[in-house]
Amino acid sequence: MTPEESALLSLFGSQYYWQISALICTCTFYGIYILAAFIAFYLLIRKGLTGRARKVLFSCLAFVFIMNTWNFVNKCAANLIDIKVALIQDNNGDLAEQLANASGALLHPWLYMINWPGTFNLLISDGIVAWRAWVIWQENIWVKLCLVTVVLANIVVNIVECAFDNEALSSFWDTSRWDSAAAWISFGLNLLATLFIALKAWQHHQAMKALMLDGRRTTAENVLLFFIESGTAYCALQLVYVIFLAITISTTAMTPNVIARELLIEFFTAASALYPVAIVIMVNLDWSPLDQTMLLYESSNTGPTEKTFSSLQFAHDCDTNATGQTNVEAHLKVIQSREEVSKIV
């Protein structure tokens, strides 16, 4: 073996070592996803697929399952073909040509497909985050318009990024400016939706204080805090990824930053697939704050009246008597509203 072939083999071994490390992450996260997906399917089917909303949700869940399985099979097959063409198939003893053939075998069709399933899952995950904010802010047209604009921009940029990568990139380690743009706009959408949810949670907390309840948090507040905390953690992880992507945008060699970026991609792929599953599990186990409505009973000079409020929207005005004193008896009663659930499930 010549020194040049020894150097090529060492470089290939180093690259393949980190590819296998990323593949181990893929397999681990896929195993976790399979367990969570079957739980979500069971819960969804057990309660029945009646109603358009549940059928749409089931279809989205099935689509995510197909995309995540496609991603798993694609990455496993790409690594197997890589090692087979590079080291098992003999090409008249020319190691450089064998390694070049391995890269060509990956391009058709595995490398061309590798971006699409992860992108589709990311779009669904981002859409669900925006949808949660949309439902909470049903009465605010400006919030809804802002969310729709960013969601549409996110879809366009991510699809263009995948199409461009199919034409321009030649290896697992390459990136483009479209990758950076897609990552930044996805980060912006998640951050914006999380901020909207946080603002509504604060308004809800202030409304509960105005009703003179004790200082304990309601179930709605606890779950909203969970959404805010998980959204903040996801945004922080996504921010780390976009920073690494910006640092390595023009790097073609395999550096520690590039390796870290590729491992982060595996985390994001898993997170984008697990998020819709987590939403289904939370809603069907009655953990979602939007599964509840509250009734406020007011007694005034004209007699008792009943007003229905969502668990996240409360009235601030009340009737007063002739002396200007407020006479309100606030009794909160949590009821399960299946009609309300069908709107957000």
Examine the pLDDT at 154 and tell me if it is beyond 90: yes
Query: pLDDT tens digit string along 157-193?
Result: 988 888 776 555 555 555 567 778 888 999 999 999 9
- Comparing 98-102, 219-223, 243-247, 292-296, which segment has the lowest mean pLDDT? 292-296
Examine the pLDDT at 240 and tell me if it is beyond 60: yes
For residue 180, the model assigns a pLDDT of 81
> What one-letter code names the amino acid at 205?
H
Examine the pLDDT at 246 and tell me if it is beyond 90: no
Percent of the chain with pLDDT over 90: 11
Ranges of each domain in the chain: 3-290, 291-344
User: Which residues on adjacent β-strands are paired with residue 262?
Assistant: none
For residue 296, the model assigns a pLDDT of 39
Q: How large is the C-alpha radius of gyration of the chain?
A: 26
Alpha-carbon span 204 to 219, nearest angstrom: 12
pLDDT band of 71, cuts 50, 70, 90: confident
Burial of 9 (0-12, 13-18, 19+ CB in 10 A): middle
For residue 219, the model assigns a pLDDT of 65
Alpha-carbon span 213 to 208, nearest angstrom: 6
More confident residue, 70 or 223: 70
Examine the pLDDT at 200 and tell me if it is beyond 90: no
For residue 167, the model assigns a pLDDT of 57
For residue 286, the model assigns a pLDDT of 56
Alpha-carbon span 82 to 137, nearest angstrom: 49
Count of residues in the chain: 345
Examine the pLDDT at 292 and tell me if it is beyond 50: no
For residue 149, the model assigns a pLDDT of 94
Residue 276 near residue 267 (C-beta atoms within 8 A): no
Examine the pLDDT at 332 and tell me if it is beyond 70: no
Sign of CA dihedral 137, 141, 145, 146: negative
Examine the pLDDT at 252 and tell me if it is beyond 60: yes
Tokens at 339, concatenated: 């009609």
For residue 38, the model assigns a pLDDT of 93
pLDDT band of 224, cuts 50, 70, 90: confident
Examine the pLDDT at 222 and tell me if it is beyond 80: no
Alpha-carbon span 36 to 259, nearest angstrom: 28
Examine the pLDDT at 13 and tell me if it is beyond 70: yes
- Distance set, CA 101 to CA 96, 157, 196 (Å): 9, 32, 50
Pick one of 1.10.3470, 3.40.50, 1.10.10, 1.20.1070 as the CATH number of 3-290: 1.20.1070
Instruction: Identify which of 49-58, 71-80, 312-321 has the greatest average pLDDT.
Output: 71-80
Alpha-carbon span 112 to 234, nearest angstrom: 27
Q: How many CA atoms lie within 13 A of 223 on its CB side?
A: 18
Residue 171 near residue 111 (C-beta atoms within 8 A): yes
